[in-house]
Structure 1
């Protein structure tokens, strides 16, 4: 008689899905580690700072001028110390992702999030941010060499700030890829946050207990929040490195999230919602990208 087929191995997941309980230790660990990423990125981005020193140690040429060349005059010492508008933009992206993820954990997520998961997720985000920073700082991969360039009018409150020594400057010139990457970042952060807020509002309604969320953007794709993440991660890299790096990062994130994270969620939802989930998959056939995939 043939041996019974062993049950499929459960996929690895950092989040304890279905375990609805607060984990203050994990939450505090995550907040602290994500906040620590910001001074690290600032130290790496500063001219003649930690990033330039590390590039020199491995024999790579730096893209930014040495300390003492001031292109930023905002009156904010921490920002002006970065010297270049794109460096300040990358630091703002690191800060925005930190705020969004802390907001998700403290206001939108109900699952337990132990310290081990907090350390792993924080380390991954710091690694991605650090990679973007190093690619921007290195002359061979920086977005500063991306073309074409576009000139954008500065808001009135910045017209004496990003002047490059010219107090009358009213425009800033940046690679088009940096502008597109910034728009991708903003759209991705907004989509990810909005989708998660919609799902929480749906789940919080007593009449929706035990139901699959099918409202709002969740009619577009079954894991539409992952599309938001892929967009902002890809946009971040595009702002740092240019067209090729940004498109490769976006494609990689879509592939990874659809196969790895999406597989984890499919397994969990199939077990929890059963026929409801299979009906949802028939109604919304797209995993991440509406109308495409």
Structure 2
């Protein structure tokens, strides 16, 4: 008889998705779509109606001067009607873009179970994250628009209106665009790979997945950091990006590594040798 195994059981990592359980969840899907769509007008309310300034004042902090919140003129009637300064317009666009991306993921890219018990906390987290950035951009001490540093002058629209922007806002917008593209494209490539009959039961090694085993997580951390950088500057963007990367590299990849090891066996071990980088291509 083999001696008893006295090793402590491996701690189960927290995960909202039931890996490998593939079935429709109409209630969870409807709940998530409704909550994510409701976030867009809420973010506009915060960014346009002075709610962000009131939140900053409520905790005893100073808000930005009026000159920094003057609406920009882009020359695009639909955008100009929103009556938002360019940095705030970018935050609203990011909120809408992440909503569209996540709904696309749930309804088209993912086949795994996503019940209401998962939909609600994920949607709440997104709204809380977006709202925090909408509030931080209004604070004199927290906004990406406050303080010194490199700034850019952009010519916008037919009227050639000038918008003076900190470099961090442009960098954050580019990070967001790159990150959400990487995340969406990689997940689309994986879906198409899995749909092919000859690839059933195989590890996806095509496209962006040749660069890192969890390349979609790299895109996710990148766009989250970019979003925060537009809201609260270099430091905020760096902290959020690194924080998201740390969580993904310690918790999320651990869950997926264990799941893929059990599902793919030697294939997964071979994939890890062929693609040594976990999240960041060429670095980690």
Alignment partner, residue 60 of structure 1:
61
- Could you say what secondary structure the match of 1:80 adopts? coil
8 Å CA contact 2:277–2:283 kept in 1: the answer is yes
Alignment partner, residue 158 of structure 2:
159
Counterparts of 2:182 and 2:253, CA distance in 1: 17
Answering whether residue 277 of structure 2 is matched by residue 266 of structure 1, we say: no
Answering whether residue 97 of structure 2 is matched by residue 96 of structure 1, we say: yes
CA shift for structure 1 position 78: 8.2
CA shift for structure 1 position 58: 1.3
8 Å CA contact 2:133–2:231 kept in 1: the answer is yes
- Could you say what secondary structure the match of 1:143 adopts? coil
Alignment partner, residue 25 of structure 1:
27
- Could you say what secondary structure the match of 2:152 adopts? strand
Alignment partner, residue 36 of structure 1:
38
Alignment partner, residue 280 of structure 2:
289
- Could you say what secondary structure the match of 2:57 adopts? helix
Distance 1:102 1:230, change over 3 A: same
Residues 110-149 of structure 1: pairs in structure 2 closer than 5 A: 110-145=111-146, 146-149=148-151
Deviation larger for 197-206 or 248-257: 248-257
Distance 1:77 1:215, change over 3 A: closer
- Kindly provide the CA deviation profile for residues 39-83 of structure 1, in whole angstroms up to 9, marking residues without a partner as x: 111111125x221122222111112529x954447544885333x
Counterparts of 1:41 and 1:195, CA distance in 2: 28
Q: TM-score, normalised by structure 1?
A: 0.89
Q: Which runs of 5+ in 1 are unaligned?
A: 161-168
Residues 103-252 of structure 1: pairs in structure 2 closer than 5 A: 103-145=104-146, 146-154=148-156, 158-160=157-159, 169-252=160-243
8 Å CA contact 1:141–1:241 kept in 2: the answer is yes
Counterparts of 2:81 and 2:228, CA distance in 1: 20
- Could you say what secondary structure the match of 1:137 adopts? coil
Q: TM-score, normalised by structure 2?
A: 0.92
Distance 1:170 1:81, change over 3 A: closer
Distance 1:15 1:78, change over 3 A: farther
- Could you say what secondary structure the match of 2:15 adopts? coil
- Could you say what secondary structure the match of 1:151 adopts? strand
Counterparts of 2:198 and 2:45, CA distance in 1: 50
- Could you say what secondary structure the match of 1:17 adopts? coil
Distance 1:159 1:60, change over 3 A: farther
- CA RMSD in angstroms comes to 2.1
Alignment partner, residue 165 of structure 1:
none
- Could you say what secondary structure the match of 1:153 adopts? strand
8 Å CA contact 1:159–1:171 kept in 2: the answer is no
Deviation larger for 55-64 or 118-127: 55-64
CA shift for structure 1 position 262: 0.8
